[in-house]
Structure 1
Amino acid sequence: MRKPDLALNHSHRSIILNPAYFLNHLRQAAVFRWLERYSEAARSAMTADYMYWLSGGSEQHISKLIKLYWQAMIEEAITREESFSVMYTPFATKAKADKIDKMKEAFSKKHPDYVEYIYTDPHGLHILPQTADWASLPPQQYLLTLGFKNKDVGKFLEKMSSKKLPSFSEHRAPFSPLTREESVRHLETVGKKILPIMDFIRGTKLTESFSACSGVIEKLQYASLLSRLQRVKEQSQVINQAMAELATIPYLQDISQQDAELLQSLMADAMDTLEGRSDKERVWNKIQKVGIIEDFLYHLEDSFLKTKKLRTARRQKMKMKRLQSVQQH
């Protein structure tokens, strides 16, 4: 492949024009594989297989080949990953806290080098190619448990996954912009540590349970970081990929009116950004600002409650000392 960047952008645009055609997703998977972006290749292959079934494809050998490709991409992604390890557990009903604790215990025994932080995706309806049968609704589902060598990465991921509309920011000052140095550092964290994990999670997760646009919003927020640092070519590629995913969402799951309106707004703003129209703030940046303000208020409240608890404990201690002093005299 002589020009992989052009091939990737072409595959994204083909999906935007015709998201229901399974070969468009398969071509995208092939380019991702060539670029060694195996988790994203896995998701593209999974989507291709689902689209083949959805459009009435009945040749079992074609679906089997796509599933084998999907499986190979997942296995390659796991083999090459050094910062985390994974475990899939089949389940039929919603996992309760005690069940998740048992999964984490089993994970610790199986992967002792990845126990700095263990996280089970609570919203996961993960599907593996070995047991995927789209005609069986729902197909066999799995819970995904991830173990990390870096505790901070695991905590950040869990924090993000608990939000309906996630924001890619650890910025604690909601009313002041990031400095260039902060932007570079944040880009490094998001691009090399967080996004690859999220891409891996989505390689076996066809639909989103919180918001249909989760997973795409983060990519668009990442594109804004790239823009701030004037990395225009990368920004354009990320936005094209996000638009391809947005175009595909209505084919993968039923979406609410609220999600449909959000999807349309994201798509319109993404198109405006690509065409150089920057006269208004983008939807994904507004979502990020709301997330930063919510985090800021949460930390203020948490700090206040901790201080209040310390003061109460100190007063109680002083009161006990005075009582002991009176009793002694």
Structure 2
Amino acid sequence: LQAALREGSARYRQRDFAAAAAKFNAALQLCSKGFATEDPLKSSPDDASRLSSWIESMLVICYLKLGQPGLALHHSHRSIIQNPSNFCNHLRQAVSFRCLHRYSEAARSTMVAHYLYVLAEGAELETSDLLQLYWQDMIQEALSGDVSFSALYTPFEKENKADKIKEAHKAFAERHPDYVQHVFTDPHGIHLLPEKAESHPGQQYLLTLGFRNRDIGKTVEKFVTRKFPVLPGQKIAFSPSMEQQAEIFWQNTGKRIMAATAFIGSTKIKDERGPCARAIEYFHHASLLSRLWKREEQAQVMTQAMAELATAPYLQRVSQEDKKMLQSLMADAVDILAGRTGERAWAEIQKV
């Protein structure tokens, strides 16, 4: 193991990233067997996790340098699963998303990276500022790149939320008249924006979304406002006898729904639906992909769900009930990636 790590590091310093990746992958195989030290009997699970996370992070960098952001993203998810509290792991995930032009997810990863940096009492003001500027840029890229919806952030303190939502809808209609086929305000959680983008640090916001297509807007609202997200029409649209219709649904509707939900998550750290809600959205996304036989994409999304589950306890309070749900969903994700079905929490959620 140590020899593979030394050789990988040497190749990395020589900028031979392909050779470095090969060595780090070999080291990762040894690590997966629990060999975090030269003496396997002295390897603890924590040692193995920390070392695995570091190796995964080096693979992220290597694959980014090699122009393979898809592989980099896969390893960034895995580095977070092994060490979710390290803000750098989330930042590398953000860069991978950005290289794939998935700007909403890049924004969320950067937001989480900044939150964890502050949580760990990061003292470098310049680092905090740079993270927030990157987060701001990703939000702007996400909004400019999607023409199916638009957004409005409304400052919110302790006013009556219902009244504030009415004001937000009126303001939205005035500013974005082309996106009023369906308008709703996210009722679950307060949104944050990068402080560098605003004159009032710590300001909280309501997020209002408007859509060009009424049906997509209504579907997104139903998907993100329930405690356990459910994608309407999923079982009908994805029956085995309707594969062609399923593909059409995914291309015309499914992708737009997922783009909107990803954007909602780009400025919301704490979700009032519970710490598992975001991961459950990924489970639904992966389920749609599996019905379309997009196995590689499904595996990527399931790994992303695991990274989200691993990070959730660092972002908001987790009750005992939430903890059980997190553990069950994590086990379900492992089963699904292994080709089995999630028979624990996911099976029950699908019945909703």
TM range (shorter): 0.7 to 0.9
Instruction: Tell me whether 1:104 sits opposite 2:166 in the alignment.
Output: no
Q: Map of 1:217-236 to 2, 5 A cutoff? A: 217-236=280-299
- Structure 2 distance, partners of 1:96, 1:21, is 35
Q: Map of 1:150-299 to 2, 5 A cutoff? A: 150-171=213-234, 179-188=242-251, 191-278=254-341, 281=343, 283-290=345-352
Instruction: Tell me whether 1:121 sits opposite 2:121 in the alignment.
Output: no
Q: What amino acid sits opposite 1:11 in the alignment?
A: S
Shift of 1:238: 0.5
Shift of 1:80: 1.3
- Structure 2 distance, partners of 1:177, 1:285, is 19
Shift of 1:232: 1.2
Shift of 1:282: 5.7
Give per-residue Cα distances to partners, 1:277-298, cap 9 Å, x unaligned. 34x64633431222xxxxxxxx
- Structure 1 distance, partners of 2:284, 2:205, is 29
Contact 1:131 1:140 in 2 (8 A): no
Indicate the SS of the match to 2:195: coil
Q: Which moved more, 1:162-171 or 1:250-259?
A: 162-171
Aligned partner (choices 98, 117, 120) of residue 33 of structure 1: 98
Q: What amino acid sits opposite 1:34 in the alignment?
A: C
- Structure 2 distance, partners of 1:214, 1:256, is 14
Structure 2, unmatched stretches of 5+, are 1-63
- Specify whether residues 154 and 94 from structure 1 end up closer, same or farther in structure 2 by C-alpha distance, changes over 3 A only: farther
Q: What amino acid sits opposite 1:164 in the alignment?
A: K
**TM-score using structure 2 length:** 0.75
**Is the helix fraction higher in 1 or 2?**
2
Q: CA RMSD in A?
A: 2.3
Q: What amino acid sits opposite 1:79 in the alignment?
A: S
- Structure 2 distance, partners of 1:265, 1:178, is 31
Indicate the SS of the match to 2:207: strand
Indicate the SS of the match to 2:152: strand
- Structure 1 distance, partners of 2:166, 2:328, is 40
Q: Which has the higher contact order (CA 8 A, sep 6+)?
A: 1
- Specify whether residues 178 and 51 from structure 1 end up closer, same or farther in structure 2 by C-alpha distance, changes over 3 A only: farther
Moved over 6 A (4+): none
Instruction: Tell me whether 1:24 sits opposite 2:89 in the alignment.
Output: yes
**TM-score using structure 1 length:** 0.80
Shift of 1:200: 0.4
Structure 1, unmatched stretches of 5+, are 291-329
Give per-residue Cα distances to partners, 1:155-179, cap 9 Å, x unaligned. 11222233111112325779x8774
Give per-residue Cα distances to partners, 1:233-292, cap 9 Å, x unaligned. 1111011111001100000000122111111111001011212334x64633431222xx
Give per-residue Cα distances to partners, 1:143-193, cap 9 Å, x unaligned. 01111111111111222233111112325779x877434533443356411
Larger of the two Rg values belongs to structure: 1
Contact 1:160 1:166 in 2 (8 A): yes
Instruction: Tell me whether 1:7 sits opposite 2:65 in the alignment.
Output: no
Shift of 1:29: 0.3
Q: Which moved more, 1:26-35 or 1:92-101?
A: 92-101
Indicate the SS of the match to 2:122: coil
Q: Percent identity?
A: 53
Q: What amino acid sits opposite 1:43 in the alignment?
A: R
- Structure 2 distance, partners of 1:99, 1:178, is 46
- Specify whether residues 190 and 208 from structure 1 end up closer, same or farther in structure 2 by C-alpha distance, changes over 3 A only: farther
